[in-house]
Amino acid sequence: MPQLLYKTKNSFPNLSSTFWFFFSLLIVLKPSCQATQSLPNSRLLNAYKALQAWKHAIISDPNNITSNWYGEKVCNYTGVFCTFALDDPHITTVAGIDLNGKDIAGSLPEELGLLTDIALFHLNSNRFGGTIPKSFFNLHLLYELDISNNCFTGSFPSVILSLPSLKYLDLRFNEFEGSVPSTLFDLKLDAIFLNDNKFQSSIPNNIGNSPASVIVLANNKFTGGIPCSLAKMGGTLNEISLMNMSLNGCLPREIGELTNLTIFDVSFNDLVGPLPEMTGGMKDLEEFNVAHNKLSCKIPASLCSLPRLANLTYSYNYISGESPKCYNIAGKEDRQNCIPGRPWQRSAQECKSFVAHPLNCANFGYSAISPSPSPAVASLMLSPVYLDDQDDLTNVIH
């Protein structure tokens, strides 16, 4: 399983330097906060109201993290970080909450909307439940929202869509359900983690509008195909995981335009058809996983020639051939296919009955022509994309 899916994060993905700026600001400025906090200002009094309401909404705190959450000196509360207000350097205000990994149970009260200066809200790995308060609407400086690995329920917390400063959104490992609003992908987010929830919809067609470097939707109950608009993320997308989401249809050849992508994972879906020849255009690719689908045809030699590709997994498909170039990739996994002369392949019978139901990508909304291929991949687009593999498979069987 790629590192993308881990529940706790020791290392953040490749986020913009702005993130590190905010992060260091909080760490560096905390001591001055404590020194200057003699007279609580109105923002700190609001924070006091918010944090007291939150303390009352906590039903279990086994490590006594909130036991010092009393009195108006909120900057001394464990997990509460203060700094000078962005709009007024003379006043101290609460700029971040970090309760990662504290095993606290409870809910988020509406009063948290009083924390109007917070940039970071980190609750990773607790037992908070319920929903995200509508009052989060007021958190216009919120830059990172990480409520992953909790017990939040209900539909997608749409209040998130109105946070103008949000860059990092992590909702993974909760119990959110229903559809994911397409407007999510129009926001200027750097990272979107929705994996391991109960979201149920198709991947919105505008996913390609997102400027994010990391998108992880894995382990949800999405259905439908992979939108061709992915190609629009060519200059920005670094890692994407769509594994185990009941996706069907073919891999759009436009994925070849993802020239900055390093990790691509669509394993454990119901994808059919060939691996597009254009995958050879994904020049930064390091890990490519299409295992456990129903892909057929040959692995393109251009894919196996990519200089950084270290892990190529296409086991459990109906692939009928691979270029000798593929043998040079250290982390190659090709078992349970229909490849002549390779160990651990499917039985001739299985391969034969697969061929008996030939699939044509044109029947699966496979767009024939990319709207505007970049010059680098245009030449690949001219190569035959789906070879008729019937002959190859017949050779395996006989």
Ligand X SMILES: *[C@@H]1O[C@H](CO)[C@@H](O)[C@H](O)[C@H]1NC(C)=O
What is the contact surface with ligand X in residues (CB under 6 A)?
A: 1-2, 34, 63-64, 73, 76, 219, 221, 235-236, 244, 259-260, 268, 289, 311, 313, 330-331
Going by C-alpha positions, the residue among 285, 299, 282 that lies closest to residue 374 is 282
Residue closer to ligand X (CB basis): 176 or 268 = 268
Nearer to ligand X, 145 or 258 (CB): 258
- Could you tell me if 205 and 196 are in contact, meaning their C-beta atoms sit under 8 angstroms apart? no
Report how many helices (DSSP H) and strands (DSSP E) the chain contains, helices first.
6, 22
Residue nearest to ligand X (CB): 331
Between 221 and 308, CB nearer to ligand X: 221
Q: How far is the CB of 177 from ligand X (least distance, A)?
A: 11
Residues 100, 121: contact at Cβ < 8 Å?
no
When the beta carbons of 20 and 137 are compared against ligand X, the nearer one is 20
Exposed/middle/buried for residue 190 (C-beta within 10 Å: 0-12, 13-18, 19+): buried
CB-nearer residue toward ligand X: 174 or 289: 289
**237 closest CA partner among 256, 217, 214:** 214
Shortest distance, position 196 Cβ to ligand X, whole Å: 8
Nearer to ligand X, 17 or 372 (CB): 17
Q: How far is the CB of 94 from ligand X (least distance, A)?
A: 14
Task: Please work out, in degrees rounded to the nearest 5, the angle formed at the alpha carbon of residue 75 by the alpha carbons of 69 and 76.
Answer: 55
Distance in Å, CB of 73 to ligand X, minimum: 4
- Interatomic CA distance for residues 202 and 225, integer angstroms: 7
Residue whose token pair is 């020849």: 277
Write down the least CB distance from residue 195 to ligand X, Å: 10
Q: Exposed, middle or buried: residue 337 (CB in 10 Å: 0-12, 13-18, 19+)?
A: buried
Smallest separation (angstroms) from ligand X to the CB of 212: 11
